[in-house]
Structure 1
């Protein structure tokens, strides 16, 4: 044996170790892949040997090769074998390889459970330490579940090294096995006060990471963290704690009172910029809290702003960026404190770092006022001229528009200035926000009536100089401003000084090079301008204009855009008719009729108006009207041959053939010239010209890329209004020096020049109401922190123990055994809530006897009629009964009761406001908007009647409004009193539930996989029996089974949507878990329950 060991050691002396492998790879740069392949074969041979030392060396080399990108998953068994070595040197190599090559889904992890448990319980602390370090890299849910107790045991170890690693490892365990958080939390809390600072820092790190996504669950630890913050000198740990307080303060604003003083002391004393930034961030979070109880906090704000100024002025770009980021948070609540540092923000706009410039732009958005808006915009436009790169220039343009248009142009005092700014921005070449500029031009013209004459004049100039936007310039889409210009000139054509000039500017030029939607706008607004020209009454001039428009409009008919073709064709037919009528002498009549075509003003439309338009019944917007045609290769070649033209020739003259003939002739001439020059070059008898003369012809001619286009007469510069404002300001200053000045008159004069802005949200479809469109933010189910949202202050809910089935005799028939085995297979597929629903049924079911519940089912009292409306004379009640045979129909039973004192109710009529979503029907199934009741109601009496109701979608709540009018006759004085009673019928999703038991057993319903949508709530401070009673009567659910304080209910509607509820009682709370075939139905039902219990 000894001889064999010596022999093995001698052989190992000649084996390649890791150092030899690295040296060999460096020396084989030309054939590296070949050398590594050879080494792989050698490593495989070494792994087949029995000597553990050889295997450990081979695994070490594999680890290095894995770093180079080579797959070593095939050596998983060998790595585990080295991990199990009793020698720490080899064990460390094995764990290192496993941490790099193993992952959560590795199949071999099941073989490592006992081995890792053994190392965790080893007497050698370094065996446990290396196991914990590697386990953190590949821990799986199974490993976390199996090893959680062993790792928690290490939290109580006497060795700080193991306690620190175990605390950090628990975070990985929580992510993979969330159920371990609750039992481990008390020990983890104790580690926050551990004697060892390393263990303490590790515990702070783990708790802060857990609280990052679910801070409300760790509010109870605030006193412990406050003590650590005031006593610790570790900057890293202080940063973690202060970040946590920043997340806890919005949840508990009272915490802010205690935090201000220590945070302020840290801001004054610390020299660490990272700690300073976190302290400022947390102070901002405290001051933002509404109920922080800080009546005078201006000193704290000023301190934060001064310190942030130091960060912004620092040469470190990272600190400068963080300072601007924190300044933007203060700006939201204390804008005046930040506005004092406007000079510093403007300096940041010249920074070489683009991210700094963009962050400074965001700050400017909140710093503007009516006084400084023009100044800030002017500086931004100067920066735009100097800016390098189109990305930053585009961002500047967007920010200028955002600054000016915020709060519906709240800070703009001169809209003529703003229109001038928009026109100047439109004339900047190379920009990519043409649609945004066009939208602004349209919005200003529509909302501000007083600016329309000026806007029309400027837009007319844009149309006259449309050639500026037709030049291709690096993907620029500034041609879209022509769409706005044409629309404004057409819609407000009565403001045009020279309508003929504007009209023909839309008919001449290279309009064929414009996009289709702009051409369509041209055609439409040509007709609007034409109607204004016709209204002037000059018949001869109108005939000439019609003839010229008709000739020029023909080019639009040949457009390749279908919309343009259709509009142009319709316009041509209309113009030919107008021309004919004018020649016949019916000028007044035809001009009046044309004017009526464009009569009325277009109002702003709400942004969500299109979204509110209901899709007609039976219309599928995703379905093709006609199947798309397959384009052939020939048509593709034809389209590619003429990319710059949207037109095709309708006449007999083939322009394309002529262009081909011309181009072929030019090519032939060029070919002949080159042949002639080549012959002269090689002819020794021919005298050659000086080469420098020819070289001058080869100098490339490049176009100068100017940042802005050349000045065009007529456009008004925005500087004009800035100068005028400055002169007015200086004039006011001089007037103030004079005595007897009337300040009130000056303010009144300023107010008078302000223009009225229509700040309404815009028009909505009939019957639609605006909503903010907020969507409940749902947590990502794939996020591991979602499962860790556990309220650790509330004790765990004790689940009722499952009721055991009665033991049967050993003798059973084969059929019964087969059924039981199939049933058990189905039950394994169910989750816990499904299993509990089934356990209820199995808890009291006997094999051959009668089903007897363990508790008597509560009988629901008759609460079917609900109050709809009431006044001093009459009470209106209702009850909804869905029809089983039709999915969207129900019967509404009404009950009218005379509650007046000594009076008679007669002439009762009901007016209904129907909608497409819900409506009453008459006997012919037509919408019923009016119903008259022929009965008179005596004092104290009642009468009942019913109406048919149709609901478009029974999975969502619906509302129907109406008015009940009646005549009340008072017997004491015989006076008649006519009154009306407004009512609102709310049809909840539960109102359309059918009172029917499930058609199949509950077990089968839960096993078939249809109930895939889940939801749950907890009803605090409620009685279990009352909840069950209310569910049965008001929600129309069927009580299927009840065992103890647990019950299962079932509901379904005529649309075949099914729902199961599991209701459980625990102390003073009742939990409700629902599973349904429809996500919409279960969400709306839960919302109905929440609204009833004010959740």
Structure 2
């Protein structure tokens, strides 16, 4: 076997080649069963197997498992590989355990002990493998076993950068499994201060963790606000050379920027004047950069740039306290309404729905009414049309209700059946809410019945009857209009209900 070692597990390569050359499913199964019998016999009868041989056979079992076959042995040999000092052997052991371990297995205690040994290792590569295994399994057992070791590892001054990154992401995975894994206390402020770390990878990983923790314990992690603003400011004002290793298609640290902007949405606008001023400068800087000429024609550049822009706009909407920024955000979103990229049109409509509910930007949204109505008529993608309907509903007021209701009724005639009931309800609500002339309201409801009678719910029927009964000034018109409608066969829904 030593002669094979330099060939990168030649036996595994030959086995995979044999499987690929099988002409039928039966031939493949026969070859796999032969290999399984060979591996089982080696594990049971050969006490002289070295680490390389165990690694090779465990790899074969993994490959067989990935082909869709059950594996019911080899777990102990994989656990034994965890104690190896050779990286590739330990790596394959961890990979097998991560993929194939049964959480109720009697081996779980041995696995946890092996992981603990590696977490205390002086070899950072071994520590990293242990962290990845904990995160991949992500069970409650892992939470209970490592909820004290991992925070210490994360905040320790002796932990090197790439291990800190893995520790932060590992804790995030365990926190998502059990929210009691990292209660605030001695670690909260130390974790928050990772946002000041010199290594951008550590900051990015820590930001994901802090964003989750601050939702659970906002008061304990509120110190992150000033540090997040400070870090964001440094990115927004950075040049290409400042963050060369973390610049993606001419956009400095876009994914960290997105995470920081999302983290700040967990809190109200900062009360400290200096922090607030600095945050506003950051947001203005992002809006300014979004309007600059593209530095690259590649889609990756525009994707990164727009990711930061949309998250900044989400923060502006969340703050809902800066009229100038809200109006400016609305206008920049308006430019995307006719963009050739479907996703950008969708995101613009979705964000504008939120802007339409703000007293500061409602009027600015209304300026784009014609474009939005046009997208309702010409848009191919049903999900984008749905967002256009939502936006028209959100931006509707007394001044434009008649036009918006009219356009929604026109669209309803050809709308997808999956959204008709929701549209009927929206039209009925708008017609009642903004009716100044109740004869118009009656006309709208009758049109609804004609266009989408099967989708008009009982609530809409009961409401229109209640309004007519309680308003004498419209009763005569309603009776006359309904009587005339009953003479026409297309109003069978009216006849059925009456």
Q: Report if TM-score (shorter chain) is over 0.5.
A: yes
Query: CA–CA distance in 1 between the matches of 2:37 and 2:128?
Result: 33
Matched, 1:391 2:410: no
Superposed CA RMSD: 3.0
Which residue of structure 1 lines up, in the alignment, with residue 268 of structure 2?
Answer: 249
Q: Is the 8 A contact 2:5 2:52 kept in 1?
A: no
> Is structure 2 residue 476 aligned with structure 1 residue 450?
no
Structure 2 counterpart of 1:83: 82
Contact 1:361/1:399 (8 A) holds in 2 = no
Kindly indicate whether the alpha-carbon contact (under 8 Å) linking 2:448 and 2:456 is maintained by their aligned counterparts in 1: no
Contact residue 256 and residue 286 of structure 1 kept, 8 A? no
Residue 47 (structure 1) shift: 3.0
Kindly indicate whether the alpha-carbon contact (under 8 Å) linking 2:389 and 2:408 is maintained by their aligned counterparts in 1.
Answer: no
Paired residue secondary structure (1:412): coil
Equivalent position SS for 1:202: helix
Deviates further, 417-426 or 41-50: 41-50
Q: Which residue of 1 aligns with 2:208?
A: 205
Match of 2:380 in 1: 352
Paired positions, count:
455
Which residue of structure 2 lines up, in the alignment, with residue 575 of structure 1?
none
Superposition map of 1:664-679 within 5 A: none
Q: Deviation at 1:370? A: 3.3
Alpha-carbon distance in structure 2 between the residues aligned to 1:400 and 1:450: 22
Equivalent residues in 2 for 1:392-791, closer than 5 Å: 392-405=419-432, 409=433, 411-428=434-451, 431-433=454-456, 435-465=458-488, 468=490, 479=493, 481-482=494-495, 484=497, 486=498
Cα displacement (A) at 1:364: 1.2
The correspondence of residues 185-224 of structure 1 with structure 2, limited to 5 A, is: 185-224=188-227
Q: Secondary structure at the match of 1:370?
A: coil
Q: Determine if contact 1:103/1:137 at 8 Å carries over to the other structure.
A: no
* SS of the residue 1:352 aligns to: coil
Query: 2:230 & 2:350 partners in 1: Cα distance?
Result: 29
Note closer, same or farther for the CA distance 1:139–1:441 as it changes in structure 2 (3 Å cut).
closer
| TM-superposed deviation, 1:301 | 2.1
Kept after mapping to 2: 8 A contact 1:56/1:93: yes
CA contact (8 A) 2:135 2:173 kept: yes
Distance, in Å, in 2 between the alignment partners of 1:216 and 1:308 is: 33
Alignment correspondent of 1:25: 19
Instruction: Name the CA distance, whole Å, in 2 between partners of 1:89 and 1:213.
Output: 39
Secondary structure of 2:356's partner? helix
In structure 2, what is the Cα distance between the partners aligned to 1:419 and 1:383? Answer: 19
1:1033-1048 equivalent positions in 2, closer than 5 A: none
User: Which structure is higher in strand share?
Assistant: 1
TM-score scaled by length of structure 1: 0.39
Residue in structure 2 matched with residue 280 of structure 1 by the alignment: 313
| Inter-CA distance 439–43: structure 2 relative to 1 (3 Å threshold) | farther
Structure 1 position 308, deviation (Å): 0.9
Q: Distance in 2 between matches of 1:355 and 1:248?
A: 31
Q: In structure 2, how many angstroms separate the alpha carbons of the residues matched to 1:86 and 1:425?
A: 74
Following superposition of structure 1 onto structure 2, how do residues 1003-1082 of structure 1 map, counting pairs within 5 Å?
A: none
Contact 2:208/2:259 (CA < 8 Å) preserved in 1? yes
- Matching residue of 1:315: 340
2: CA distance between counterparts of 1:448 and 1:135? 68
Q: Contact 2:257–2:308 at 8 Å: present in 1 too?
A: yes
In structure 2, C-alpha distance between the alignment counterparts of 1:168 and 1:261, rounded to whole Å = 30
Larger radius of gyration: 1
Aligned residue number for residue 328 of structure 1: 353
Q: CA deviation at 1:354?
A: 1.0
Change (3 A) 1:179 1:370: closer
The equivalent residue for 2:127 is: 128
* Per-residue deviation, 1:68: 3.3
Unaligned runs of 5+ in 1: 289-296, 471-478, 487-1095
Q: State the Cα distance separating 1:89 from its structure 2 match.
A: 1.5
Spell out, residue by residue over 1:853-897, the C-alpha distance to the aligned partner (whole angstroms, 9 max, x if none). xxxxxxxxxxxxxxxxxxxxxxxxxxxxxxxxxxxxxxxxxxxxx
Is the CA contact (8 Å cut-off) linking 1:426 and 1:434 kept in structure 2? no
Structure 1 distance, partners of 2:404, 2:342, is 24
Q: Secondary structure at the match of 1:366?
A: helix
Which residue does the alignment assign to 2:248? Answer: none
- For residues 112-132 of structure 1, the C-alpha deviation after alignment (integer angstroms, 9 at most, x for no partner) is 222112222223221111111
Distance 1:153 1:235, change over 3 A: same
Preserved contact between residue 330 and residue 364 of structure 2 (Cα < 8 Å): yes
- What is aligned with 1:97? 96
Residues 103 and 138 in structure 1, CA contact (< 8 A), matched pair in contact too: no
Equivalent residue number for residue 71 of structure 2: 72
> 1:268 and 1:105 mapped to 2: Cα distance?
56
State the 1:339 CA deviation: 0.9
Provide TM-score, normalisation by structure 2.
0.82
Contact 2:412 2:451 in 1 (8 A): no
The verdict on how the C-alpha distance between 1:253 and 1:22 changes in structure 2, with shifts beyond 3 A counting, is: farther
1:301 counterpart (317, 326, 330) = 326
Q: Could you tell me how far apart the structure 2 residues matched to 1:344 and 1:459 are?
A: 35
**Whole-angstrom CA distance in 2 between matches of 1:312 and 1:211:** 34
1:249/1:256 contact within 8 Å kept? no
* Structure 2 unaligned spans of 5+: 236-251, 291-301
Any idea what the Cα deviations from partners look like across 1:605-625, whole Å, max 9, x if unmatched? Answer: xxxxxxxxxxxxxxxxxxxxx
Q: Secondary structure at the match of 1:422?
A: helix
* Preserved CA contact (<8 Å) 2:317 2:354: yes
Whether the 8 Å CA contact 1:99–1:137 is kept in 2: the answer is yes
Note the alpha carbon deviations across 1:241-281, whole angstroms, 9 max, x for none.
11111221269697655522221122112460010011111
Give the Cα separation in 1 of the matches to 2:174 and 2:184: 8
Provide the secondary structure at the position in 1 that maps to 2:340.
coil
Richer in helix (by share): 2
Once the two structures are superposed, the pairs formed by residues 147-162 of structure 1 within 5 Å of their partners are: 147-151=146-150, 152-153=152-153, 155-157=156-158, 159-162=160-163
Q: Structure 2 residue aligned with 1:47, among 43, 46, 65?
A: 43
Evaluate the alpha carbon distance shift between residue 131 and residue 281 of structure 1 in structure 2; reply closer, same or farther with a 3 A threshold.
same
Deviation at 1:361, TM superposition (A): 0.9
